[in-house]
Amino acid sequence: MFRNTYDSDNTVFSPQGRLHQVEYALEAVKQGSAAVGLRSKTHAILLALKRSTGELASYQQKMFRIDDHVGIAIAGLTSDARVLSNFMRQQAMSERMVFNRPMPVNRLVATIADKAQVNTQEYGRRPYGVGFLVVGQDQSGPHLFEFSPSGNSYEYFAMSIGARSQSAKTYLEKHYKSFEDCTLEELIKHGLHALRETLQQDKELNVNNTSVGIIGPTGRHEKPVSPPSKFRIIEGEPVAVYLQSMDQKEPADGAPVPPTAADEDVQMSG
C-alpha cells in the first residue's frame, strides 16, 4: 500500500482526520474472497466463495457456526476470524448459561465491534484484518449484520464483503426489495447470482468453491434439522441443487465492472 507519514501507528490521526492503519485493515477484508448475506421475512442466509491455493490444496473455510442461532461468513485474515469467532462462541454460551436464552444477535455483534474498536485506539495494537457477515435469529426474527475492523457494525437487508464485493452489492441493490417475501430457495438463488458477480472472468461457482449458510426453517431440498431453524452450513454435493437452479448470467450491459486491484491472494487470507 501507499506508505505515508501517518500510517505507522494507529493511535495517530492523519491531518485529514483519518486513521490509515484502520483503513489498511479494511483493505485486508477486500483481499479475502467474497461473502454475501441476505434476509427474508423468515430466513437469513450467507453465501461465500471459497478459495484454494492450488489443485493440491483444500479450500479455505469461510463459514463458522457460532451457536445454534448464529453463524458467520468471513473475508480477510482467517486466523483473526478464528480468534473472534471463538470469542463470539464464548459470549453466546455464557448467555445460555446465565440467562438460558439465545444471545440477541445485535448484542453479539456489538461485543466484537467493541473489541475491534479498542484495537483502533490503543497503542501497540493492530486492528483485526477480517470482516464478518453475521446471520442470526432471536426473539425479534432473522437478522443480518456486517462487522468490520473499524469497529463499526450495521444491520442490513442484504450485504456483501470481500474481493469484488461491489459487483455483488450492485446486484443486491437492484433486487433487495423482492427478498422480503422470498422462499428459501429463491433467496439462495438471488444469493448465488450476487456471489457469481464477484468471480473472476474465467471462474464459475461449483460445489467445491461455494458455501451456503442458512438460518430459518428447512427448505425443500433439506433434511429436517434439530433444533428446527438452527444455523447450518451447506457445502459440497448438497449445494449442486441450488447451483442448478441459477439462471444464465445476464450479458453485462455497458462497461464491465473493473476488477479490483487485489486479485492475487496472500496465503493467510481466506
Partner 1 sequence: MDHFPTNWGRPRNDMFDAYGTHPIHQRPDNRPKDTFADSVQHTQQPIVTGTSVLAIKYKDGIMMAADNLASYGSLARFKDVQRLHSVGKYTVIGAGGDMSDFQYIQHILEEVQIAEGTHQDGHELGPVEIHEYLSQVMYARRSKMDPLWNSLLIGGFKDGKRFLSYVDLLGTTYSASTLATGFGAYIAQPLLRKAVEGYEDVLTTEQAQNILESCMRVLFYRDARSLDKYQIATITAEGVSITGSLKLQTSWDFAEGIRGYGAQTQ
Partner 2 sequence: MSSFNPYTENGGAILAIAGADFSVVAGDTRQSEGYSIQTRYAPKVFRLTDRAVLAVNGFAADGNMFVKKVKQRLEWYRHAHAKDMPLRSIARLIQTMLYSRRFFPYYVYNILGGIEEDGSGAVYSFDPVGSYERETCRAAGPAQSLLQPFLDNQIYFKNQQPVPGTAHPTHLPLQVVLSVVIDSFTSATERHIEVGDGLEIYIILAKGRGLQGLEGVKGVQELSISEDSERIFVIRRELKKD
Residue 223 found at the interface with partner 2 (CB under 8 A)? yes
Residue 224 found at the interface with partner 2 (CB under 8 A)? yes
Look at residues 28, 12, 39, 2 and name the one whose alpha carbon lies nearest to residue 262.
28
Residue 50 found at the interface with partner 2 (CB under 8 A)? no
CB atoms within 10 A of CB 19: 20
Q: Binding residue for partner 2 (CB under 8 A) from 4, 58, 226, 244? A: 226
Least Cβ distance, residue 92 to partner 2 (angstroms): 9
Burial class (CB in 10 A: 0-12, 13-18, 19+), 163: buried
How far is residue 178 from each of residues 24, 84, 182, 195, 254, measured CA to CA in Å? 35, 33, 7, 17, 24
**Residue listed under C-alpha cell 444471545:** 103
3-state SS track over 2-31: CCCCCCCCCCCCCCCCCCHHHHHHHHHHHH
Q: Binding residue for partner 1 (CB under 8 A) from 23, 51, 89, 138? A: 138
Q: Binding residue for partner 2 (CB under 8 A) from 1, 56, 57, 97? A: 97
In the list partner 1, partner 2, none, the entry touching 244 (Cβ below 5 to 8 angstroms by class) is none
Residue 141 found at the interface with partner 1 (CB under 8 A)? no
Residue 225 found at the interface with partner 2 (CB under 8 A)? yes
Nearer to partner 1, 20 or 39 (CB): 39
Residue 97 found at the interface with partner 1 (CB under 8 A)? yes
Q: What is the DSSP letter of 60?
A: P
Residue 26 found at the interface with partner 2 (CB under 8 A)? no
Least Cβ distance, residue 98 to partner 1 (angstroms): 6
Nearer to partner 1, 27 or 138 (CB): 138
How far is residue 208 from each of residues 36, 45, 152, 238, 256, measured CA to CA in Å? 17, 18, 32, 11, 26
The values of phi and psi at residue 231, to 5°, are: -70, 130
Interface residue list for partner 2 (CB under 8 A): 65, 89, 93, 97, 223-226
Interface residue list for partner 1 (CB under 8 A): 97-101, 104, 106-107, 138-140
